[in-house]
Structure 1
Amino acid sequence: MKKYLSQYKPFLSFLLKFFLSYIVLTSLYQYYLNSFDAASFEIDSITEIVSIQTQQTIELFNYNSYLEAHPKQNSNMLFVENKNVARVVEGCNAISVIILFIAFVIAFKGNWKKTVLFILVGSVFIYVLNIIRIALIAIALYHYPEHEHLLHGVVFPLFIYGVVFLLWVIWVNKFSMYAVQKKA
C-alpha cells in the first residue's frame, strides 16, 4: 500500500487540493447565497449585476432590452425588443464555473504570484465572456426561439466550458510547476 501511495502521490495530491479548494469555495459561495431571502424571491447581488450588464451588452448590439423581476422566482426576466426571451437565474452568473476554474488552478500548483494573477485574470475573463454569452443567447433566442435547446443547452455551455478548458491547458503548459519542470 505504501508503494502505491508513493507512486501516485502527485495524482493524489492534485485530487486532495482540487476537492478541498472546490469544497471550501463552494461552501463560501453557498453561505453568500443563503444570505438572500429566496422565499421572497430576492436575487443575489452577483446575479443582479450580471443581469444588468447583460442587458447593457444587448443594447451595445443595437437591440432594445430591459429587465423585470420575475414575480414567482428569484430571477430576472430578460426582454429583447419587448419579447421575453430568457430568465437570468443564479446559475447564469458563472460563479460555479469560476470556482471550478480556480480549484483546478490551485490543485495544479504554480508559484503564488503567477497562481493569484492567473486566477484573477482568468476569473475576470470568464465573467466577461459569460455576460457576452448570455447576451448572444438572448439575441439568438429572439430570432430563433425554436432552437432554444440547442442554443442554451449545447452551443453556449460548450463555449464557456471550452474556454475554461483552454485556460486550464494554458495554465498547465505555461505557468504551473509542471510546465517549469517540463522545460528543465
Structure 2
Amino acid sequence: MKNYFTLYKPFLLFLGTFFLTYIVLTFLYQRYLNGFEENKIDAITTMVSYNTQWVMQLFNDQSFIEESATHPYMKLFFNDKYVARIVEGCNAISVIILFISFVISFSGKLKTTFFFIFGGSLLIYVLNVLRIAALSALIFYFPKQEPFLHGVLFPLYIYGVVFILWLIWVRKFSRYASKDTK
C-alpha cells in the first residue's frame, strides 16, 4: 500500500488539491449567493447582465435588459423582442471556479499563479459576456436553433477556452512545465 501512495503521489496530490480547492471555492460562492433574498439577483449576475447590455448596444441600440419583478433573473431584449433571460448560472462563476481549481492543482510560482488566475478569470468573464450577447442575437435570428446554440455550441465555446487556458498553464507556467529552451 505504501508503494501505491509513493508511485501515485503526484496524481493523488493533484486530485486532493483540485477537489479541496473546488469544494472551498464552491462553498464560498454558495455562501455569497445565500446572502441574497430569495427572488433577488446576485450582484455578479447583475454585472454580467449590464455588461452584456452594453456590448449588445454597440451593435443594436434596441437591445436592453429588464429585471424580472417576480423571479431572480434579467430579461434580455434584442430588437425590442424578449429573447433570453440571464440567470445566476449564466455568470460563468462555476466555470471560473473550475478553472482556478485546476490551475492551483498544478500551481507554479505564487506570483505567476496569481496573475494567470486573475488574467484567465478576466478572460473567461469577458468571453462569457460576449457569448451571452452573441447567443441572444442568434436566438433572435434563429429561434429554432436555440437548443443547439445554448446546449451545445456555446458550452463548447466556453469550456474550449478553459481547456486551452489549462493547456497553456500546464505547458508554460506550472511546476511541471518543460524547462527546455531551444
Q: Aligned equivalents of 2:59 and 2:176: distance in 1? A: 42
SS at 1:104 equivalent:
helix
Q: Aligned equivalents of 2:3 and 2:71: distance in 1? A: 54
- CA drift at 1:72: 3.0
Segment of structure 1 superposing worse, 59-68 or 29-38: 59-68
Segment of structure 1 superposing worse, 73-82 or 54-63: 54-63
Q: Aligned equivalents of 2:106 and 2:3: distance in 1? A: 23
User: Equivalent of 1:151, from 149, 166, 174?
Assistant: 149
Flag structure 2 segments of 5+ consecutive residues without an equivalent: none
Q: Aligned equivalents of 1:75 and 1:183: distance in 2? A: 50
Q: Aligned equivalents of 1:50 and 1:109: distance in 2? A: 28
Does structure 1 conserve the Cα–Cα contact (< 8 Å) formed by 2:135 and 2:149? yes
- Aligned 1:25-174 pairs, distance under 5 A: 25-38=25-38, 41-174=39-172
Q: Aligned equivalents of 1:59 and 1:9: distance in 2? A: 52
Q: Aligned equivalents of 1:151 and 1:9: distance in 2? A: 41
SS at 2:84 equivalent:
strand
- Amino acid across the alignment from 2:21: S
Does structure 1 conserve the Cα–Cα contact (< 8 Å) formed by 2:57 and 2:64? no
Count of residues in Structure 1 that have an aligned counterpart in Structure 2: 181
- CA drift at 1:183: 2.9
What TM-score results when the alignment is normalised by the length of structure 2?
0.97
- CA drift at 1:101: 0.1
- CA drift at 1:69: 1.5
SS at 1:72 equivalent:
coil
Q: Aligned equivalents of 1:63 and 1:145: distance in 2? A: 20
- Which protein is richer in helix relative to its size? 1
Q: Aligned equivalents of 2:176 and 2:135: distance in 1? A: 37
Q: Aligned equivalents of 2:134 and 2:176: distance in 1? A: 37
Q: Aligned equivalents of 2:60 and 2:36: distance in 1? A: 34
Q: Aligned equivalents of 2:10 and 2:157: distance in 1? A: 30
What TM-score results when the alignment is normalised by the length of structure 1?
0.96
Q: Aligned equivalents of 1:58 and 1:152: distance in 2? A: 17
Flag structure 1 segments of 5+ consecutive residues without an equivalent: none
- CA drift at 1:73: 1.6
